[in-house]
């Protein structure tokens, strides 16, 4: 049994039957840090298909998945080429600035217990 499912089974033993009945569950993980949060911003309140298309275009832009690189991109690139809405582009820039100025510290958050994070 995979570690994640094993942890759930400890909390609720009935989860142990899930893969037996449904077959192997796909393991989904998200990128850590800036790219992971950026992808969440891209996908908010739109269909999965649209989110994947936008993410694919954004990821293809050189430097877009780093805070410094994203801040170097103007709306013509973020909104026009990648397909982000202007509000999402603004949120992405806010995220990038927070990463660069230290107000969002992913390593620090990872070191905190869940309830404090």
pTM, 2 dp: 0.79
Residue 1 pLDDT level (bands cut at 50, 70, 90): low
Is it the case that residue 67 has pLDDT exceeding 90?
yes
Domains of the chain: 1-30 (no CATH), 33-106 (1.10.340.30)
If we measure between CA atoms, which residue out of 50, 41, 54, 45 comes closest to residue 96? 41
Buried b (16+ CB within 10 A) or exposed e, 52-81: eebbebbeeeeebbbbeebeebeeebbeee
Position 25 scores a pLDDT of 82
């Amino acid at each position: 049994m995979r570690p994640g499912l094993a942890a759930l089974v400890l909390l609720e033993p009935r989860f142990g039957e899930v893969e037996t009945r449904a077959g192997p569950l796909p393991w989904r993980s998200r990128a850590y840090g800036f790219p992971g949060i950026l992808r969440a911003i891209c996908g908010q309140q739109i269909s999965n298909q649209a989110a994947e298309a936008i993410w694919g275009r954004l990821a293809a832009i050189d430097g877009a998945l780093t805070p410094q690189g994203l801040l170097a991109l103007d709306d013509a690139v973020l909104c026009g080429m990648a397909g982000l809405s202007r509000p999402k582009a603004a949120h992405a820039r806010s995220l990038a600035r927070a990463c660069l100025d230290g107000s969002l510290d992913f390593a620090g958050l990872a070191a905190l217990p869940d309830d404090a994070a």
